[in-house]
Structure 1
Amino acid sequence: MREPMEWPTRDLLTHRAETTPERTAVVDADEGETATYRELDAAVDEVAAAFEALDTPNRRVATLLDTRPAVGRLLFGAMRRGLTLAPLNVELDVETLGTQLEALDADVLVCERDTEKLAAEIADCPVVSVDAPDDSGVGRLLSDKAVEAGRTVEPVELDRDATQLVLFTSGTTSDPKGVRLTVGNLVASATASAFRLGVSPGDRWLVCLPTYHMGGIAPFVRCVLYGAAVAVQREFDPEGTARVLAEEEITGVSLVPTMLKRLVESGWTPDLSLRFVLLGGGPTPRSLVERCRERGIPVCPTYGMTETASQISTARPETAFEYPDTVGQPLVCTDVTVLGEDGPVGPGERGELVVSGPTVTPGYLADEATAAAFGPHGFHTGDLGYRDEDGRLWVVGRADDRIVTGGENVDAGAVAAAIRGCPGVADAAVVGLPDEEWGQQVAALVVGDAELEAVRDHCRAELAPYEVPKTIRRTEALPRTPSGTVDRDAVAAQLQE
């Protein structure tokens, strides 16, 4: 009699392919092609065989690919061989990418046709492409030499503590750091997310976020665990994404607020099949939540980080509509401590959000960064917030967003939240600008059609005099990083122009 299994003994796809081989695994929304779990399993065997043929003493494979179905094959091919996958951001400059690749000490860099020249420029290791390469110095990952037709690869034993992914943070206010995420982190995140969002065997999760960020790569892991299908759209656009949502009968999609805003403004209304819109990567404006309520869009505002393998807390639509600006209660097995200057604080009191639980990274690539980020209560997020009596969380800003003006401390997040409450304001970002008289001055960049003087009057009514922005400018859209978070340095530069 076989012993009951408490943990996957082989890569996650192997178990899924044995359980539901004929179920749809991947939908290529751009090409109109689908693959079953049996077909995906065979394709991943080819990738694993190709990795086996490469020299990988450090057990690390970096990738330079945009959003496409091949990302899933690379992820599970690496898992099958016990390798760490490190997706790099294709939008970054050569210097930054070179620094990240050096920090990874990767054995090989996998690129695609569009990133081939960039890969060859930054790599100090062999470069192979998932496409037919043009550069003679770039190999083909799935060459006949590397892959024997029909060959199967024996999966290595799965170790929950093994580093499966290295993802670099956005670096909006500091240099990006390489986050190590284990197999255990990914499985725990997928499990906790399922308990909050629910799972159905017919689910289809649309990925149109960059797959070099956690929000884009997490659905690949989750769908394999759930037996659901992941649909991949290479690039978001309101009309195309609305078409895919309808034609593919998508039940869930991961977006950032700017994406959802563009969808809503395009006139999109969801089909009955859509169960959730997981919204992360930055604050969700109250006005956007209200428009979702009016349109029947099942929006789920989420607070998450790369360091926690995606979600920390998520508000279901009914919670989001009843309690504006909340990101809901923490997911199951995730503990959030609100830490004040003298220790943990109670409901209604603000402090830094500190997270512990099975989704939290064991640390960064750099030991000193790891030591600085962890304390007795867990991982220090650097985010400020509070909770109510029922455990619902509100995130109000960053600890390093504090502005000191004339000796007064100003919470930039709180000022931005107040501005978003002004009629005609769609979004806002607040930063401190150098000021000879006051040390710093409060400055705001706003999106919307509200008159700037009306915004200033609103702030005078809602805020203390020293919190009212001295500089207010209007913009079409807030500058953001590829992951959707506000780029504070770019905001400051735009305000100083």
Structure 2
Amino acid sequence: MRDLLATRARASPGDAALVDDASGREWTYAALDAAVERTAGRLAALGVTRDDHVGVLLETRPAFVRLVFAVQRLGATLVPLNARLSPTELETQRERADLVLLACEADTEADALTAAGAVPVVSVDEPTDSGVRVLGERDPEDVAPAEWTPEDDLALLYTSGTTGDPKPVRLTFGNVVAAAGASAFTLGVLPDDRWLCCLSMYHMGGLSIPLRCALYGTTCVLQRGFDAEETARALAEHDCTGVSVVPTMLDRLLRADAELPDSLRFVLCGGAPTPPDLVAACEDAGVPIHPSYGMTEATSQIATARPAAAYSNPETVGRPLFGTTVTVVDEAGDPVPTGETGELCVSGPTITPGYYDAPAANAEAFGPHGLRTGDVGYRDDAGRLYVLNRRSDRIITGGENVDPGRVAAVIRSHPAVRDVAVVGVDDPEWGERVTALVVPEDGVALDRDALETHWEGRLAGFAQPRTVAFVDDLPRTASGTVDRAVARERARAAADDL
């Protein structure tokens, strides 16, 4: 098979492929294909060939989309880099990914130059440094579109690194196609769908949107960064039928009191656990939320709940996607009965073949039941999946194991609690102390006594937080998950103040 865009452009050349919300410019699939052909020719003129690794250090914009498909056209591997990282972090990731070229934009040029080392840097904008080449000024070479097999590496994406150093995840052509199909079955994709991308495309949640739209023949609407009011406007102005967000973004959309359009059929919410009260707020507002559990290693989604299932079971992430098998295992790696908690292992056609050039990490990550996610959860009698927390987040206090996800769920169910994170901090007597960072609802008075009354009888004595700190918000990573390292530091500070 040829690259996704070339295949789609032959099938539906006149259909709308891409809309840039910032400029209002639109591309048909034929027009986007022609632009990508020129970009691929320019990359070829810079020496990019099949199987090369090409880094991209850009925020979401049409130039990013062109690079995604241009790298595919050459049979090379795309390596999106997080534009919010420090130059030192970027340098480490550049070295690990074996880049032959690094593409940047005006806002990331300085960081790209610092991180690139001997790797050539090319900009999609007019550079300020003479050492940076201008992509648009290269004369395109003629390009023979590469043929792809399901096993070929389409992209290397780095994990979020919330539990250690970020690792480059190999995602194959087959992974991407399988993930798109499985997602379509769950979301109910239609020919005229218009999917708003307001996520960063260096994360799989954002990158997946233009890739999937090319497979479906639907329209990708790009918004250059999230703003609640502007995102609501873009959804309405472009008659969007779908959008991908993290829970914090969705919460801000609802709190902005902006009316979401009737055209909206699916709101895919992932990247972090979706609080049950956010699901309830969506039901009240008529927002078709699809809470989702996924990870980069699974090419995004693992399980997704449709709105009706989410409304009736607000803590679930739904059933696994078509073709994905989730096995819950105990400490010995053996499957546990329905309803029992354990580590989630996943297998299927969307799962990465492994981390790039990391045999030790691969040996640790994969077992008889597939990829060991490091996440703790369980399944109910109806096959619905519930994700509690990271296995590494488990707290051991006084010899008892505490799953912070269960503790957080109980606290979060208090009507005056907007959000909560539960972590363990060192304790000389108990080993670890269960500590809760609690975000109260705006304008609502909340104290520890009220929480103790709420969790009494719902939590075992050893699982009840010994320290409660009330905070304005929770620290989060760029992908929207709670930054547990920072949360622990805040928790330690709160414990020291007692």
TM-score scaled by length of structure 2: 0.96
Range 481-490 or range 453-462, more displaced: 453-462
Q: How does 1:272-291 map to 2 (within 5 A)?
A: 272-291=262-281
Could you list the runs of 4 or more consecutive aligned residues of structure 1 that deviate by over 6 angstroms after TM superposition? none
Say whether the 8 Å CA contact 1:270–1:296 is kept in structure 2: no
Say whether the 8 Å CA contact 2:86–2:111 is kept in structure 1: no
For 1:4, the equivalent position in structure 2 comes to none
For 1:359, the equivalent position in structure 2 comes to 350
Aligned to 1:75, which of 57, 68, 72?
68
Aligned to 1:132, which of 113, 120, 126?
126
For 2:335, the equivalent position in structure 1 comes to 344
For 1:6, the equivalent position in structure 2 comes to none
Aligned to 1:249, which of 233, 239, 243?
239
In 2, distance between residues paired with 1:28 and 1:202? Answer: 17
Say whether the 8 Å CA contact 1:72–1:220 is kept in structure 2: yes
Say whether the 8 Å CA contact 2:57–2:108 is kept in structure 1: yes
For 2:212, the equivalent position in structure 1 comes to 222
Say whether the 8 Å CA contact 1:269–1:297 is kept in structure 2: no
For 2:459, the equivalent position in structure 1 comes to 463
Aligned to 1:394, which of 379, 386, 389?
386
Q: How does 1:110-129 map to 2 (within 5 A)?
A: 110-124=103-117, 125-129=119-123
User: Is 2:77 the counterpart of 1:87?
Assistant: no
Say whether the 8 Å CA contact 2:44–2:140 is kept in structure 1: no
In 2, distance between residues paired with 1:249 and 1:455? Answer: 43
Q: How does 1:79-228 map to 2 (within 5 A)?
A: 79-124=72-117, 125-143=119-137, 145-147=138-140, 153-228=143-218
Q: CA deviation at 1:402?
A: 1.0
Q: Give secondary structure in 2 for the equivalent of 1:444.
A: strand
For 1:326, the equivalent position in structure 2 comes to 316
For 1:384, the equivalent position in structure 2 comes to 376
Q: CA offsets, 1:246-298, max 9 Å, x none?
A: 00011000000000000001113322110100000111111111110011000
In 2, distance between residues paired with 1:284 and 1:155? Answer: 41
Alignment root-mean-square deviation, CA: 1.2
User: Is 2:361 the counterpart of 1:369?
Assistant: yes
Say whether the 8 Å CA contact 1:479–1:491 is kept in structure 2: yes
Q: CA deviation at 1:452?
A: 3.1
Q: CA offsets, 1:32-81, max 9 Å, x none?
A: 11111011000100111012112246611001101112221111111110
- Structure 1: gaps (5+ residues): 1-8
Q: How many residues align?
A: 485
Aligned to 1:404, which of 393, 396, 401?
396
Q: Give secondary structure in 2 for the equivalent of 1:142.
A: helix
Partner amino acid, structure 1, of 2:337: G
TM-score scaled by length of structure 1: 0.96
Range 450-459 or range 259-268, more displaced: 450-459
Aligned to 1:477, which of 469, 473, 480?
473
In 2, distance between residues paired with 1:340 and 1:437? Answer: 28
Q: Give secondary structure in 2 for the equivalent of 1:268.
A: coil
- Structure 2: gaps (5+ residues): 494-498
In 1, distance between residues paired with 2:34 and 2:472? Answer: 47
Partner amino acid, structure 2, of 1:113: A
Partner amino acid, structure 1, of 2:126: A
Q: CA deviation at 1:178?
A: 0.7
Partner amino acid, structure 1, of 2:38: E
For 2:55, the equivalent position in structure 1 comes to 62
Q: CA deviation at 1:155?
A: 0.7
Q: Give secondary structure in 2 for the equivalent of 1:188.
A: helix
Say whether the 8 Å CA contact 1:204–1:252 is kept in structure 2: yes
Say whether the 8 Å CA contact 1:269–1:295 is kept in structure 2: no
Q: CA deviation at 1:493?
A: 1.1
